[in-house]
């Protein structure tokens, strides 16, 4: 979701330069190895902690309330569908009107790029696929910037309200949790800043630079809509936790903020594709406030499993869906 650069080996400009030998490996390969190692290390410590906790807590009766598990899955599906709807409305705010079917396909085909190293692939996917339904590159990029920033802002605000305000745990979490994302969001949502980003991308892609503006009302609406999306995902996570353990309404409200907090921390950590390991670690830390360690780890891993399964399901559905007929025959020839 953020633009990032990768190292490449280019052809030498003159014969005086040494060409790399076959035994050398590009620096970016070692960076990827380090990313994988860190993610594996996090899961190793989670697994070790789980086994250690289980051995101390014998015997354990594993029970699942399938009613709550069903509600968790239902709210997860609603949340994922709502994400595509917000994208549709954000495009409409800048004068680009497309069907939900087209936006669903665009969103969940590009979404899988999050699991590749670097945060740029989902954005590039949206720009590329947007051309297939005649969405200008500037509109795709502008919508990506606003959608991602308002999504992050709404997520931290929602988790702040849930974790700090409603659950009476203000002594545990600093107000900087909300303050820092708010400051950075206001910076990136300023037209001067995102137009500088658009000009840079246009220069890199050799496309024509166009001055763009996202209406203030559209920005506020986007943040409010994403607040609703995080509420759906929060409900899904709370019911998932409730399906494995019994706890009070106060902790149910507290759980609402865990999913957006963990998701966004994992998203903002650049070295972890898809937030693998980071998201689960944050969930465990927050869940340990009221449940045993082994159960917190189980909930976090099951949450990742459900989320990934339904992202794959939506990706497969998106592959099967055909884009609407395009007016421009040259664009229609691009396929999909």
pLDDT greater than 60 at residue 45: no
Give 170's pLDDT tier (boundaries 50, 70, 90).
Answer: very low
Q: What is the pLDDT of residues 226-259, one digit of tens each?
A: 999 999 999 999 999 999 988 888 889 889 999 9
What is the Rg, in whole angstroms, of the alpha carbon atoms belonging to the chain?
A: 22
CA distances from 172 to 64, 163, 286 (A): 30, 9, 10
DSSP secondary structure string, 194-233?
Answer: HHHHHHHHHHHHTPPP------HHHHHHHHHHHHHHHHHH
Give the mean pLDDT of 65-80.
95
Higher pLDDT, 334 or 78: 78
What pLDDT score does 3 carry? 39
Give the mean pLDDT of 130-159.
84
pLDDT greater than 90 at residue 86: yes
């Amino acid at each position: 979701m953020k633009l990032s650069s990768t190292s490449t080996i280019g052809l030498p400009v003159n014969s005086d330069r040494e060409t790399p030998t076959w035994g050398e490996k590009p620096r970016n390969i070692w960076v990827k190895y380090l990313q994988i190692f860190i993610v594996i290390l996090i899961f190793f410590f989670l697994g070790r902690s789980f086994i250690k906790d289980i051995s101390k807590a014998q015997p354990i009766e594993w029970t699942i309330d399938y009613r709550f598990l069903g509600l968790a899955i239902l709210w997860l599906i609603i949340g994922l569908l709502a994400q595509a709807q917000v994208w549709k409305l954000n495009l409409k705010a800048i004068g680009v009107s497309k069907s939900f079917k087209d936006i669903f396909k665009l969103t969940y085909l590009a979404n899988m790029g999050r699991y590749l190293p670097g945060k740029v692939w989902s954005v590039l996917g949206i720009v590329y696929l947007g051309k297939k339904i005649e969405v200008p590159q500037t509109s795709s990029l502008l919508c990506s910037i606003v959608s991602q920033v308002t999504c992050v802002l709404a997520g931290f605000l929602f988790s702040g309200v849930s974790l700090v305000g409603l659950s009476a745990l203000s002594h545990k979490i600093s107000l900087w949790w909300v303050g820092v994302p708010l400051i950075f969001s206001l910076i990136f949502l300023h037209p001067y800043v995102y137009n500088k980003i658009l000009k840079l991308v246009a220069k890199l892609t050799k496309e024509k630079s166009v001055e763009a503006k996202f209406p203030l009302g559209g920005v506020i609406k986007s943040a409010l809509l994403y607040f609703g999306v995080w509420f759906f995902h929060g409900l899904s996570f709370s019911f998932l936790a409730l399906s494995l353990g019994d706890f009070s309404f106060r902790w149910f409200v507290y759980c609402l903020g865990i999913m957006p907090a963990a998701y966004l921390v994992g998203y903002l950590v650049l070295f972890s594709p898809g937030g693998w390991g980071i998201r689960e670690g944050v969930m465990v830390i927050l869940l340990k406030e009221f449940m045993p360690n082994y159960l917190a780890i189980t909930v976090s891993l099951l949450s990742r499993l459900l989320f990934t399964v339904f992202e794959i399901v939506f990706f497969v559905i998106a592959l099967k869906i055909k884009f609407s007929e395009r007016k421009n025959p040259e664009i229609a020839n691009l396929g999909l």
